[in-house]
Amino acid sequence: MRRSKYRRASRSNSWFSGKRRIIAVAATLVAFGGIVTVTQVSNASTDKTQRKALAACDDIQAPQRAKLSTETRKSTYTTNGGKVTQHPDDGAGETVSTQTLRNRCRTWVMNNVGDTKDDATTPPTEAATTPPPAEESAPPADGESAPPADGESTPPAEGGESTPPADGESAPPAAEPSAGGDQGQGNGEQGNGEQGNGGEQQPDPQPSEEQTTPPPGAGLGVLTNSCDTSNLTPHNGFQEGSRCVSTEFGEVGEAAQNPTLLITRAPRSVGVNQAFTLRISTRNLIRDRFLAAGKGGYYVESSVLANGLVRGHFHTACRLLPSTNEAPASDPVPAFFVATEDSRGGATPDSVDIQVPGLPNAGTAQCASWAGDGSHRIPMMVRANQIPAFDSVRITVRNGRR
């Protein structure tokens, strides 16, 4: 029997034909349109956040130049045949321009805000495409080698650990957009006066929504443990007062590995403007980390350990004391101040000689030296009764050379 060439349509295919096919296609288009709409709304929200952050970058201004020590060179130099880098005034003289700060801010926003986190390119705004002015750099003195650019660390000693750039790596940008400093109730009215440690017990800071365990110091009446309760302006990485520093303390090593420091050689007396040498010995301090204060590297990096030892540098300063019977004022600049890094140091104590060019007047001078982490803070100690990495000596400055 011959099969008819006009075959009846299969019932199994009739569901997705005719009007039903049109309805299915329409439903698909509606669903796709919804996805596109949600994506567009999400992107619009992201773009708005990013634009807001970029706009905040345009408001950044470079701070005023800090006061510098009077007898110290004004720019970074090297000693010991170029092996030791000396940063006068903790790099406060290594200033940064407003344009450079804004460019750094925009780069951070593009890397951290919105869907362009992996894009390391500065957004093409008019201000960003203008090249920043070249920063002045003094030539090396006395025929010594010039220091690395932009506050980078010197090459490590033979067989030592490689040194990361001082302006990069884990340090957040100084001009990071912030929510502002007018949140919370502030610490100004509470203080440490009538309701301090000797008065009524203060309430502990309120836990966050995500926090499930009590914070350190719970029940002791801690006044605060973050800048969320401060009415001061957020700290911006420069040496400016009336700010609240939100940088976490960071890592602290074992007691036996905490840094120590000692001035092992110093003259008892010198003449006015007579050069002299201080010998500084450190232990448990890797001297390979430094962020220039004048470039926004002040108090911005948490303490970092390498094999249990603090990474940082040490400072040396000399000032003339108006009186030896009372504590001096804190704001006058010293006659001499340098921060020393040489990519050396470690668990075994060693020494570095610091050349002081001389002190300008007769009297009693106090010369001090102390360790600092990457952001210039004295390193933490495990116990409260450990003496931190600090030492000082008194030197008599006499009229005329002797």
Distance of CA 304 to the CA centre of its chain: 12
| 255 and 121 together in one domain | no
Q: Is it the case that residue 207 has pLDDT exceeding 80? A: no
Is 352 or 168 the better-scoring residue by pLDDT?
A: 352
User: Does residue 365 belong to any structural domain of this protein?
Assistant: yes
What is the average pLDDT across 13-42? 56
pLDDT class of 35 with cuts at 50, 70, 90 = low
Pick from 118, 126, 114: nearest CA to 52: 114
* Residue indicated by tokens 């009538």: 194
User: Does residue 270 belong to any structural domain of this protein?
Assistant: yes
User: Does residue 8 belong to any structural domain of this protein?
Assistant: no
Q: Is it the case that residue 75 has pLDDT exceeding 90? A: no
Domain with 59, as residue range(s), is 37-66+98-132
| 127 and 253 together in one domain | no
Q: Is it the case that residue 23 has pLDDT exceeding 90? A: no
| 60 and 82 together in one domain | no
Q: What is the pLDDT of residues 109-141, one digit of tens each?
A: 888 777 555 444 444 433 333 334 444 434 444
First to last CA, the chain: 134
Q: What is the pLDDT of residues 300-358, one digit of tens each?
A: 999 999 999 999 999 999 999 999 999 999 999 999 999 999 999 999 999 999 999 99
Provide the number of structural domains found in the chain: 2
| 312 and 278 together in one domain | yes
User: Does residue 139 belong to any structural domain of this protein?
Assistant: no
| 152 and 127 together in one domain | no
What is the average pLDDT across 215-228? 87
Helix (H), strand (E) counts: the chain: 3, 14
* Residue indicated by tokens 């980390």: 289
| 253 and 373 together in one domain | yes
| 257 and 112 together in one domain | no
Reduced to 3 states (helix: H, G, I; strand: E, B; else coil), residue 84 is: strand
pLDDT at 349: 98
CATH number at residue 311: 2.60.40.10
| 170 and 41 together in one domain | no
pLDDT at 31: 59
**Interatomic CA distance for residues 378 and 373, integer angstroms:** 6
User: Does residue 198 belong to any structural domain of this protein?
Assistant: no
User: Does residue 20 belong to any structural domain of this protein?
Assistant: no
396 burial (CB, 10 Å; 0-12 / 13-18 / 19+) is: middle
**Interatomic CA distance for residues 149 and 292, integer angstroms:** 11
* C-alpha pair distances (Å), 152 with each of 148, 239, 298, 362: 5, 20, 15, 37
| 294 and 170 together in one domain | yes
pLDDT at 108: 74
| 53 and 164 together in one domain | no
